[in-house]
């Protein structure tokens, strides 16, 4: 797929020093690959033992450390904060502190460091889980103060959004923008069989030869799946729209049932499967409205579910141990 960048965005990125948190993760690695097409200086910060792009400087560091955040963000022009923690429905319920505490710390510390060091353009990557309960999630220019549907990880994302709103009020800053991706998948996803989300979990089970592949729930839950490269594209577009109160949705805008997801995977790989209705399947429906991001960012997802899944499967077959080199926040301490 071919992503188009305006002259304004090209001029904004060119010759800039850019820091990307979570640059070894699902979204961050795609952001770095896109940025490497421009004449800019890129630095990735994460706690993963991975170096993926020769045009990027990789720094190992803990973003929950405020002093580290202040030091690492000095003298940068642009910051893209994609670092976060992903996990299955089960670990969300059983290990909420493993989501909430590190995410809250890394978001608070990194955003405050960006403000202190006067970084001109900052995009914060929030989540669909920061929305309050609904079925269709509509972008607005208001920050929702109702409880987020994903509870602990949702609150951690929401607190960062509120932090940015506080900056806008107190400092009249024009540096920050917020994006809320839907259910993101792609190369570099968390494929840990103990806590992976639905797409990497299914791909892992299929490729290791489970027969039948067990799928939690009845297959009727509806999700909005978006390929990680499309999210990276939307994040770069958002740099031109900082200082906008509210947020931009980055999704496909199309609802796909888990059964339809399985059937699409079945077109690519032959496998047997069974739905376990005794297991939880999460919220019944989550679809993003993209009107605002299409109008203000000219954002259009470029990747079909079939194509995205095929690329993800091919990547995973060549990188089955990638997740072992990543920081795991769900290990018992």
Q: Specify if 170 maps to a domain.
A: yes
Residue 5 has pLDDT above 60, yes or no: yes
Look at residue 87 in the predicted model and tell me its pLDDT. 62
Q: Are 81 and 107 in contact (CB under 8 A)?
A: yes
Query: Is the residue at 218 inside a domain?
Result: no
Distance CA 249, CA 316 (A): 27
DSSP string covering 203-233, please? HHHHHHT-SSEEEES-S--EE-EEEHHHHHH
Q: Coil, strand, or helix at residue 241?
A: helix
The answer to whether position 206 is within a domain reads no
Query: Both tokens of residue 233?
Result: 């594209």
| Degrees to nearest 5, angle at CA 231 with 239 and 53 | 85
pLDDT at position 322 is 82
| pTM for this model (two decimals) | 0.93
Which residue has tokens 């059983």? 94
**107 C-beta neighbours (distance < 10 Å), count:** 27
Q: SS3 of 178, please?
A: strand
Structure tokens at 187: 């190369």
pLDDT > 60? residue 332: no
Q: 327 lies in a domain?
A: no
Contact 188, 24 (CB under 8 A): yes
Whichever domain contains 74, its CATH number is: 3.40.50.720
What are 70-112's pLDDT values in tens digits? 999 999 999 999 998 766 666 667 777 877 888 999 999 999 9
Crossing angle between the packed helical segments 151-171 and 96-116, to the nearest 10 degrees? 20
| Range scoring the smallest mean pLDDT among 44-48, 110-114, 188-192, 303-307 | 188-192
Task: Answer yes or no: is pLDDT of 122 > 90.
Answer: yes
- What range defines the domain where residue 59 resides? 8-188+225-253+285-302
263 in a structural domain: no
Let me know if residue 90 belongs to a domain. Answer: yes
* Residue 2 included in any domain: no
In a domain, 207, yes or no: no
Contact 153, 145 (CB under 8 A): no
Range in 59-73, 155-169, 237-251, 287-301 with the lowest mean pLDDT: 237-251
The whole-chain average pLDDT of the chain stands at 90
CB 212 within 8 A of CB 205: no
What is the mean pLDDT of the segment spanning 127-154? Answer: 84
DSSP for residue 301: -
Average pLDDT over residues 307-325: 90
Our measurement of the distance from residue 326's CA atom to the centroid of its chain's CA atoms, rounded to an integer in Å, reads 16
Q: Band of the pLDDT at 135, cuts 50, 70, 90?
A: confident
Query: What burial class does residue 208 get, using C-beta atoms within 10 Å of its C-beta: 0-12 exposed, 13-18 middle, 19+ buried?
Result: exposed
What is the predicted pLDDT for the residue at 89? 64
Residues in the chain, total: 333
Q: Which two tokens stand for residue 121?
A: 């353009």
Q: How many domains does the chain have?
A: 1
Going by the DSSP 8-state scheme, the letter that residue 136 receives in this structure is E
């Amino acid at each position: 797929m071919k992503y188009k960048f305006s002259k304004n965005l090209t001029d904004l990125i060119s010759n800039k020093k850019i820091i990307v948190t979570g640059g070894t993760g699902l979204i961050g690695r795609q952001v770095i690959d896109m940025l490497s097409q421009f004449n800019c200086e890129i630095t990735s910060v994460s706690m993963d033992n991975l170096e993926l792009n020769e045009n990027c400087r990789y720094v190992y560091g803990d973003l929950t450390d405020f002093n580290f955040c202040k030091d690492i963000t000095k003298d940068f022009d642009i910051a893209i904060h994609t670092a976060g923690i992903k996990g299955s429905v089960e670990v969300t319920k059983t290990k909420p502190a493993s989501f909430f505490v590190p995410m809250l710390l890394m978001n608070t510390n990194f955003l405050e460091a960006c403000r202190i060091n006067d970084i001109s353009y900052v995009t914060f990557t929030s989540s669909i889980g920061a929305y309050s309960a609904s079925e269709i999630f509509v972008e607005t220019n208001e920050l929702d103060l109702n409880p987020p549907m994903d509870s602990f990880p949702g609150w951690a994302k929401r607190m960062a959004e509120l932090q940015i709103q506080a900056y806008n009020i107190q400092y009249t800053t024009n540096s920050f923008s917020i994006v809320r991706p839907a259910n993101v998948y792609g190369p570099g996803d968390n494929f840990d069989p103990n806590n992976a989300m639905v797409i990497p979990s299914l791909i892992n089970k299929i490729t290791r030869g489970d027969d039948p592949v067990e799928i939690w729930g009845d297959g009727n839950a509806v999700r909005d799946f978006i390929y990680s490269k499309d999210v990276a594209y939307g994040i770069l577009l958002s740099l031109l729209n900082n200082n906008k109160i509210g947020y931009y949705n980055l999704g496909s805008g199309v609802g796909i049932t888990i059964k339809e997801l399985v059937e699409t995977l079945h077109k690519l790989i032959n496998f047997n499967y069974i739905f376990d209705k005794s297991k939880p399947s999460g919220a019944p429906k989550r679809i993003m409205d993209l009107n605002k991001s299409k109008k203000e960012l000219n954002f259009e997802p470029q990747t079909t579910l079939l194509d995205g899944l095929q690329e993800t499967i091919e990547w995973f077959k060549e990188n089955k141990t990638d997740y072992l080199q990543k920081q795991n926040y769900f290990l018992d301490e």
